[in-house]
């Protein structure tokens, strides 16, 4: 399928008048502004689960404990380092962690939009206006917005992947491809899962092209070696008993590169194969539905990005076939793979009549505008179901807790800091662990995920244990509630401090 390159009869090309520089600015600015909407609605608080539980605490840790020790923790866990280096740089210049978090999300969204524009104009040969349409319409799709909500390392890596695929030289020597290889290295250093997909992608491309174009196959083999070395570094990680921020435990100490989705415990556990399949099917439908008709009508644009996306989607589907031996975080592979389907949307829009274009854009708006603007607890029905919120939050205007509860949480933690419980053991469930680390410096913090872990902390502590949770039932986090024996010692709004 080819997208017509003569775009002079289109409104957006007449507006841009072929000014590639202006188009590139728009390709950055439009995604930046769209992603800024939930940030503005959230006020001074950042959005995103990983934002308040990983990125903000990491920068706070750099300020408290020194940059060398924090980057040393990244090295010890063999995590993809690039974004952490950026956050450490922000710490050096004294930038506020919350301000960095609020600016970083929209900025990475703009970078992804610019990379889509560059890929479409350089690699696919589209006009500048069509590239702007691709960058803009991408942020009217659920997978892109979900990535940009808090998966900053994924977004950064995908931007570098697209930039790298935009700049390969037609020559098959190393020097003309140096820029492409350098960008590919940055992509591999940005996220582990993207690196895994790149390994599979270049293995497929080098084998598939060996008989038809040995020289190009050898360049793909060079890329395979490059990302393979980085991926081997990630696989050589020692068993994780701690997280990137020192006091935090690893997200799942029992996890490995291949996991059993049906095993009890851990982040990837399901009670049965039926529930696993149902949650996968519903989430895949929600993520992929905008692409079904465009791909059916127009086909897929063939490029290295297509192979990249298909490899990622295959990895996402493995738990369907082998639930006891599959890659973890299957939904992340799904979101990564959906990026490769984005170039199918502008060609489909181009062949529709004006009412058809309006209908498609209205459908996309129905799917994503509630996600962008509605507060937590008022999500659209198709986003509020417990079958999908395990992977896609009901709203972007939230972080680990509803935005409306953030002021009360800060006030409650400030009360602990100034009150008689400051020297107690503070057991903080994952939704509150990052907040507690940021606002209670020096407290004996014990993060936990499950009720069983909380009971273990209580039984092993020689001093009384306190925790923070909602004061009453909210339906927000059914995975935990303070057990009998704990009572409220202080309450701010709907947030309470519990003690034995």
Domain that holds residue 464: 403-499
Same structural domain for residues 418 and 343? no
Same structural domain for residues 290 and 434? no
Residue 66 is encoded by which pair of tokens?
């020194």
Q: With respect to residue 364, please indicate whether it lies within any of the assigned structural domains.
A: no
Alpha-carbon distance of 489 to 309, in angstroms, equals 52
Strand ordering across the sheet containing 425-429: 444-448, 425-429, 465-470, 495-499, 487-492
Same structural domain for residues 313 and 189? yes
pLDDT of residue 11: 52
* SS3 call for 497: strand
Same structural domain for residues 281 and 422? no
Closest listed residue to residue 379, CA positions, set 475, 465, 460: 475
Q: With respect to residue 379, please indicate whether it lies within any of the assigned structural domains.
A: no
Q: Directed axis angle between helix 82-92 and helix 97-118, to 10°?
A: 130
Residue 303 is encoded by which pair of tokens?
């490029």
Beta bridge partners of 469: 496
Q: With respect to residue 278, please indicate whether it lies within any of the assigned structural domains.
A: yes
Same structural domain for residues 336 and 414? no
pLDDT of residue 19: 64
Q: With respect to residue 369, please indicate whether it lies within any of the assigned structural domains.
A: no
Long-range contacts of the stretch 459-463 (C-beta < 8 A, 24+):
461/425, 463/423, 463/424, 463/425
pLDDT of residue 44: 92
Q: With respect to residue 352, please indicate whether it lies within any of the assigned structural domains.
A: no
Q: In the chain, how many domains are there?
A: 2
Closest listed residue to residue 154, CA positions, set 48, 270, 42, 300: 48
* SS3 call for 469: strand
Strands 487-492 and 444-448: unpaired
Same structural domain for residues 408 and 321? no
What is the residue-wise DSSP string for 286-314? HHHHHHHHHHHHH----SHHHHHHHHHHH
Same structural domain for residues 468 and 340? no
CA distance to 119, 183, 305, 314, per residue, from 162 (Å): 6, 9, 8, 20
Q: With respect to residue 383, please indicate whether it lies within any of the assigned structural domains.
A: no
> Taking the model in full, what pTM does it have?
0.92
Alpha-carbon distance of 35 to 254, in angstroms, equals 35
Beta bridge partners of 410: none
Q: With respect to residue 5, please indicate whether it lies within any of the assigned structural domains.
A: no
Same structural domain for residues 323 and 416? no
Same structural domain for residues 164 and 311? yes
Closest listed residue to residue 417, CA positions, set 430, 406, 426, 407: 426
The set of residues, in sequence order, having a beta carbon less than 8 Å from that of 437 and lying 6+ positions away, is 57, 60, 61, 245, 247, 248, 428, 445
Same structural domain for residues 316 and 203? yes
Same structural domain for residues 143 and 15? yes
- 103, 48 in Cβ contact below 8 A? no
CA distance to 85, 256, 386, 419, 471, per residue, from 277 (Å): 38, 21, 14, 49, 35
pLDDT of residue 145: 95
Neighbours of 465 (CB within 10 A): 21
CA distance to 155, 169, 176, 310, 458, per residue, from 212 (Å): 33, 18, 22, 21, 65
Q: With respect to residue 449, please indicate whether it lies within any of the assigned structural domains.
A: yes
Same structural domain for residues 114 and 224? yes
Neighbours of 103 (CB within 10 A): 17
- Using 70 as the pLDDT threshold, list the residues of the chain that sit under it: 1-19, 168-173, 238-257, 265-268, 475
Q: How far is CA 199 from the centre of its chain?
A: 20
What distance, in Å, lies between the first and last C-alpha atoms of the chain?
A: 66
* SS3 call for 494: coil
pLDDT of residue 213: 78
Residue 197 is encoded by which pair of tokens?
């997909």
């Amino acid at each position: 399928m080819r997208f017509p390159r003569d775009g002079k009869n289109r409104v957006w090309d007449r507006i841009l008048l072929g000014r590639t520089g202006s188009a590139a600015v728009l390709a950055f600015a439009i995604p930046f502004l769209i992603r800024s909407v939930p940030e503005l609605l959230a006020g001074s608080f950042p959005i995103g689960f990983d934002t308040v539980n990983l990125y903000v605490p990491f920068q706070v840790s750099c300020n408290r404990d020194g940059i060398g020790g924090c980057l040393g923790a990244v090295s010890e866990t063999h995590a993809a380092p690039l974004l952490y280096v950026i956050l450490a740089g922000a710490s050096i210049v004294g930038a506020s962690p919350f301000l960095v978090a609020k600016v970083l999300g929209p900025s990475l969204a703009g970078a992804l939009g610019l990379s889509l524009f560059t890929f479409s104009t350089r690699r696919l040969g589209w006009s500048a206006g069509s590239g702007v349409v691709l960058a803009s319409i991408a942020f009217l799709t659920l997978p892109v917005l979900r990535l940009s909500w808090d998966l900053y390392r994924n977004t950064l890596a995908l931007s570098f992947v697209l930039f790298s695929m935009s700049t390969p030289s037609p020559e098959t020597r190393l020097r003309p491809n140096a820029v492409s290889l350098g960008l590919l290295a940055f992509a591999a250093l940005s996220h582990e899962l993207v690196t895994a997909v790149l390994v599979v992608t270049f293995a497929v491309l080098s084998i598939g092209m060996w008989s038809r174009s040995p020289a190009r196959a050898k360049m793909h083999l060079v890329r395979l070696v490059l990302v393979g070395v980085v991926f081997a570094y990630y696989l050589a990680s020692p068993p994780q008993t701690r997280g990137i921020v020192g006091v935090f435990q690893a997200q799942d100490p029992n996890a490995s590169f291949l996991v059993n989705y049906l095993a009890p415990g851990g982040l990837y556990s399901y009670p049965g194969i039926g529930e696993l399949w149902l949650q996968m099917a519903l989430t895949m439908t929600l993520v992929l539905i905008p692409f079904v008709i465009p791909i059916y009508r127009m086909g897929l644009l063939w490029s290295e990005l297509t192979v990249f996306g298909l490899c990622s989607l295959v990895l996402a589907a493995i738990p369907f076939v082998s639930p006891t031996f599959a890659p973890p975080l299957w939904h992340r592979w799904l979101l990564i793979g959906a990026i490769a389907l984005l170039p199918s949307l502008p060609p489909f829009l181009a062949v529709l009549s004006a009412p058809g274009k309006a209908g498609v854009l209205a459908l996309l708006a129905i799917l994503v505008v509630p996600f962008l603007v509605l507060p937590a607890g008022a999500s659209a029905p198709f986003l509020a179901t417990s079958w999908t919120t395990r992977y896609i939050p009901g709203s972007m205007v939230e972080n680990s807790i509803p935005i409306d509860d953030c002021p009360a949480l800060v006030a409650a933690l400030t009360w602990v800091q100034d009150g008689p419980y400051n020297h107690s053991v503070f057991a903080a469930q994952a939704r509150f662990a990052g907040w507690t680390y940021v606002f209670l410096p020096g407290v004996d913090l014990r993060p936990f995920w499950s009720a069983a872990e909380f009971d273990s902390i209580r039984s092993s502590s020689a001093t009384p244990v306190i925790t923070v949770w909602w004061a009453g039932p909210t339906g927000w986090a059914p995975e935990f509630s303070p057990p009998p024996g704990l009572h409220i010692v202080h309450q701010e709004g709907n947030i309470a401090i519990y003690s034995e």
